[in-house]
């Protein structure tokens, strides 16, 4: 199969690029496996200080791969998403999301798990799980610590779409800028991060992310079980199949 996550290094920065246009950069088994491999490579390279997560195409990440979810159990898949978030939060190296285009459901959890996120003002976000008979369970581990409680209630329960500026206002991303300024802002942040000593970055990140990491380790198994149970329900299977049929 063709590679769907590209790993590139221009030391001291590694870049992971999601590139699966056939399923709108969905969190398929292959994409998640390749993301893990990219994190492993970056962490093993002593010359890499910062990792940038970006995407190709008009969709940053569409969330769970519904074709896989509708065709089989999600027990392993939900646990892998929990573990991927944990790896990003616990990594000794800072991760920066460069977000343009659409971000949906599970993709929002990946953005929230990174340390900093720059989004275009025209990017769009939606926690669509509720409309499919699901709940934003696994990604709540990283999304809820970023948001205000009122914003969480609104976005989780309505499934409404909101733009990059709104995402910044509620704390989901670090900042939102016009799309033609995204690369410059990411570059500025990365330059500042690279001025940090590896030990300083590691220990500071450990302090900043302590509460989030404790929450993942405490609640990860429970939310993974809830999510896999919802994916297996008749209600969710019916809505997922209807959604996939509309996409054909």
Domains annotated for the chain, with CATH where assigned, are 5-180 (3.90.226.10)
CB 105 within 8 A of CB 61: no
The C-alpha atoms of residue 214 and residue 160 are separated, in whole angstroms, by 29
Closest to 15 measured CA to CA, from 121, 113, 93 = 93
CB 47 within 8 A of CB 196: no
SS3 18: strand
Q: What angle do CA 34, 77, 245 make, to 5 degrees?
A: 100
Write out pLDDT tens, residues 144-170: 999 999 999 999 999 999 999 999 999
- Identify the weakest region by mean pLDDT among 70-74, 138-142, 215-219: 70-74
Write out pLDDT tens, residues 181-223: 999 999 999 999 999 999 999 999 999 999 999 999 999 999 9
The C-alpha atoms of residue 109 and residue 17 are separated, in whole angstroms, by 17
């Amino acid at each position: 199969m063709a590679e769907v996550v590209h790993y590139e290094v221009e030391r001291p920065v590694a870049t992971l690029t999601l590139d699966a246009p056939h399923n709108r950069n969905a969190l398929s088994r292959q994409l998640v496996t390749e993301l893990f491999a990219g994190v492993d490579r970056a962490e093993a390279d002593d010359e890499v200080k910062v990792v940038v997560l970006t995407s190709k195409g008009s969709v940053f990440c569409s969330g769970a791969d519904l074709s896989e979810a509708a065709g089989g159990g999600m027990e392993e898949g939900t646990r892998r998403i929990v573990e991927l978030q944990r790896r990003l939060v616990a990594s000794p190296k800072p991760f920066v999301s460069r977000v343009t285009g659409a971000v949906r459901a599970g993709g929002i959890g990946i953005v929230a798990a990174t340390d900093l996120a720059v989004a275009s003002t025209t990017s769009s976000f939606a926690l669509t799980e509720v409309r499919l008979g699901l709940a934003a369970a696994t990604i709540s581990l990283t999304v809820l610590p970023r948001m205000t409680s009122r914003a969480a209630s609104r976005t989780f329960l309505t499934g409404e779409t909101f733009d990059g500026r709104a995402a910044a206002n509620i704390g989901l991303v670090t900042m939102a800028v016009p799309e033609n300024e995204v690369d410059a802002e990411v570059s500025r942040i990365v330059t500042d991060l690279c001025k940090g000593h590896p030990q300083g970055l590691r220990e500071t990140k450990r302090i900043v992310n302590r509460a989030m990491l404790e929450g993942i380790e405490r609640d990860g198994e429970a939310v993974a079980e809830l999510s896999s149970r919802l994916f297996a329900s008749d209600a969710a299977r019916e809505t997922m199949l209807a959604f996939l049929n509309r996409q054909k």
